[in-house]
Structure 1
């Protein structure tokens, strides 16, 4: 494989990663939005945090994933998603960090996939198949 083929292959991989992580998080965000962020408000209330902040999840699970998918400021949007899931892990899934689920998988494997997939996009960038490729945040 020559350098041009490798670069093309990498760009396809970046696109696939952005679409996969972004779409899966978007489904998560739509479900939260349809519930009126009830679970998130409950978690925040339980931690003594104003439940109004639950609407920030809209940015982290709806807006940022859409930007990630289309490749607009993909690095910046991936940081927003990563922060969103880091907070979600700490507030809602903290007890599961050192546990296994009923199938023997890590207790927070889904949240970790979203978090680390987003961090990967931050380090890799959007690739050439993106709406924007000129900013340091792409």
Structure 2
């Protein structure tokens, strides 16, 4: 049985493929949020910045964090820099939209900040792992 498990584990050892799957899947999912901003604009986000006393034009940084950075991650271009931009975007989203429920659970018992938290931790993981060899600019 142990030899069968070892063979299975050896056959499943593909860290560069795992990096590719992580980069592409989370990059595309984050990009969908950016595409929404392209079509609907940033007025909602500008209002949130103004509400906390910051200039509304800060909202335009969302295009870097939710459009440019995810595209860079999907293609493996300056992956660590792009992951840092996505981390910053995730932290800003938490600060703007979830500062009141950061330590809360939703009605299903999950962390109220689970969605953006998942993007944050995936971005941190991508930052630490890098692009892998299946990238336009491998690390």
> Is residue 78 of structure 1 aligned with residue 83 of structure 2?
yes
Question: 1:59-80: CA deviations, max 9, x gaps?
Answer: 0000000000000011110000
For 1:68, what is the secondary structure of its paired residue? Answer: helix
Cα deviation digits, residues 71-130 of structure 1 (max 9, x gap) = 001111000000111111012211121111122211000000111100000000100000
Runs of 5+ unmatched residues, structure 1: none
- Cα deviation code 1:42-64 (max 9, x no counterpart): 11010111111101110000000
In 1, distance between residues paired with 2:38 and 2:47? 14
Q: Distance in 1 between matches of 2:30 and 2:72?
A: 12
Whether 1:59 aligns to 2:64 is yes
Q: For 2:129, which of 115, 124, 128 is the aligned residue?
A: 124
The structure with the larger Rg is 2
Q: Does 1:114 align with 2:119?
A: yes
RMSD of Structure 2 on Structure 1 (CA) = 1.7
- Runs of 4 or more, structure 1, over 4 Å off, are 1-5
Matches within 5 A, 1:27-106: 27-106=32-111
Aligned mates of 2:12, 2:106 — CA distance in 1? 41
- Distance between the aligned counterparts of 1:91 and 1:26, measured in 2? 19
TM-score by length of 1: 0.89
What is the TM-score with the length of structure 2 in the denominator?
A: 0.89
Distance 2:127 2:10 in 1: 23
